[in-house]
């Protein structure tokens, strides 16, 4: 049985949440206006160099929030299974238990190989792109932000997979095939779907949406930007914190987060759409059993048929030292940006102009990330 969903917090937790949220908003907002916006012209003149620089900067900025959740909230991350190869492009599929799964997964990637945080992209709901600071950074980072309507998302998926391929980088795209987190409302819809289609009702999962998965994978195959599928299972050992607002407003955070990773060569998967749908459904049925055993045994175990490279990825002293150094750099940079903001003339006007520019491009192109992708299309021989 799963641990309970946390619904209340203490004053100390709320204070920690306020400190975390304030620092992340200030750092992401000022970083956007003082670093990302000045870099934007490079997206026109040299899209590949722009992508390389921005991927590096935003990737290592992510060390700041992930370190804070570990240090401030005491989150413990355990990562078991196969190593994610940073030199081979991949599609990562994961169950979506809470809205914070992707945040803690950055902690997992750091333990596997720090460079992975610069090459991972995430498929998320499109509304996040409008969040000041953090949402803008996600758009700059070329996350695949969808409306969760296949009719409108189809063209966006095609555009972004082509964009990733043109950048000549080994990206790792994280997809949640369930389409949304396992909140009570989504669970009710999934159970209703299962009942209508004579399927089993899952206890730990939602039934996956196969259409988007199949279309995305086939497009990645066409553009030759997928070598592996990584099947990732996330489980929570102590408590379930369902939404981002629980963290940022109430300071609630799980303390015990586990990831299990299986590497699957894409060449071993079916080629036609119908068989791919069946493969994903079968994978989810197996994942349900894995999670049942996880909550019964209080942890993940090696699964039958998995590779001999099954590892336990730890936060080594070297990684801890690098983590501290990166956080110190970003804290110093944030302090410097804040000093510029309050001491130089006309910074309010500059910020307003930057805000209007980003919002305008968001509206005109239906997302700043679409603006970046379309800039790169002007010359396919870049």
Does residue 2 fall inside a structural domain?
no
In a domain, 382, yes or no: no
Residue 103 reports pLDDT greater than 80: yes
Q: Answer whether residue 5 is part of any domain.
A: no
Question: H-helix or E-strand containing 63?
Answer: helix 63-73
Residue 104 is assigned to a structural domain of this protein = yes
What local confidence, expressed as pLDDT, does residue 127 receive?
Answer: 83
381, pLDDT greater than 50: no
Q: Look at residue 18 in the predicted model and tell me its pLDDT.
A: 96
Residue 281 lies in a domain: yes
Q: What is the pLDDT of residues 274-294, one digit of tens each?
A: 999 999 999 999 999 999 999
Instruction: Quote the CA–CA distance of 60 and 114 in Å, as a whole number.
Output: 9
For position 304, what pLDDT does the model report? Answer: 64
* Orientation of helix 273-297 relative to helix 210-222, angle to 10°: 120
Q: Are 141 and 151 in contact (CB under 8 A)?
A: no
pLDDT tens across 312-343, in order? 999 999 999 999 999 999 999 999 999 999 99
For residue 235, how many other CB atoms are within 10 A of its CB?
A: 23
Provide the pLDDT confidence category of residue 308 given band limits of 50, 70 and 90: low
More confident residue, 354 or 237: 237
Band (149; pLDDT cuts 50, 70, 90): confident
| Residue 25 covered by a domain | yes
- State which residues form the domain around 276: 11-377
Residue 238: partners with Cβ closer than 8 Å, 6 or more residues away:
3, 254, 255, 256
The structure tokens listed for 16 are 């920690």
Residue 57: per-residue pLDDT: 98
pLDDT tens for 189-214 read 999 999 999 999 999 999 999 999 99
Please give the mean pLDDT across all residues of the chain. 93
CA distance 219 to 223: 6
Which of 168, 169, 180, 166 lies closest to 123 in space, CA to CA? 180
- The domain total for the chain is 1
pLDDT digits (tens, 9 = 90+) for 7-44: 889 999 999 999 999 999 999 999 999 999 999 999 99
In a domain, 244, yes or no: yes
């Amino acid at each position: 049985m799963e641990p309970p969903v946390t619904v209340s917090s203490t004053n100390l937790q709320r204070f920690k949440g306020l400190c975390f949220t304030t620092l992340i908003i200030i750092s992401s907002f000022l970083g956007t206006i003082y670093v990302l916006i000045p870099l934007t012209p490079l997206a026109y003149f040299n899209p590949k160099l722009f992508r390389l620089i921005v991927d590096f900067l935003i990737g290592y900025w992510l060390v700041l929030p992930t370190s804070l959740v570990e240090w401030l909230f005491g989150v413990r991350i355990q990562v078991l299974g196969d190593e994610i190869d940073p030199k081979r492009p991949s599609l990562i599929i994961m169950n979506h238990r809470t809205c914070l799964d992707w945040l803690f997964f950055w902690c997992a990637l750091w333990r596997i190989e720090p460079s992975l945080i610069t090459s991972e992209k995430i498929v998320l709901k499109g509304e996040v792109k409008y969040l000041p600071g953090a949402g803008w950074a996600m758009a700059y980072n070329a996350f695949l932000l969808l409306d969760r309507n296949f009719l409108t998302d189809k063209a966006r998926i095609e555009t972004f997979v082509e964009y990733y391929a043109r950048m000549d980088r080994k990206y790792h795209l994280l997809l949640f095939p369930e389409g949304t987190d396992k909140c009570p409302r989504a669970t009710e819809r999934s159970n209703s779907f299962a009942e209508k289609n004579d399927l089993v009702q899952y206890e730990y999962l939602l039934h996956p949406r196969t259409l988007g998965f199949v279309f995305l994978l086939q497009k990645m195959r066409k553009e030759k930007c997928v070598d592996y599928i990584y099947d990732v299972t996330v489980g929570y050992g102590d408590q379930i914190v369902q939404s981002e607002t629980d963290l940022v407003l109430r300071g609630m955070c799980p303390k015990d987060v586990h990831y299990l990773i299986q590497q699957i060569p894409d060449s071993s998967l079916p080629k036609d759409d119908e068989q791919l749908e069946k493969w994903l459904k079968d994978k989810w049925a197996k994942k349900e059993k894995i999670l049942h055993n996880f909550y019964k045994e209080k942890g993940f175990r090696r699964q039958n048929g998995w590779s001999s490279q099954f590892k336990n990825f730890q936060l080594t002293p070297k990684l801890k030292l690098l983590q501290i150094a990166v956080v110190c750099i970003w804290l110093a940079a944030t302090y410097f940006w804040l000093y510029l903001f309050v001491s130089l003339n006309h910074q309010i006007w500059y910020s307003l102009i930057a805000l209007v520019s980003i919002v305008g491009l968001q509206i005109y192109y239906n997302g700043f990330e679409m603006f970046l992708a379309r800039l790169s299309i002007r010359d396919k021989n870049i």
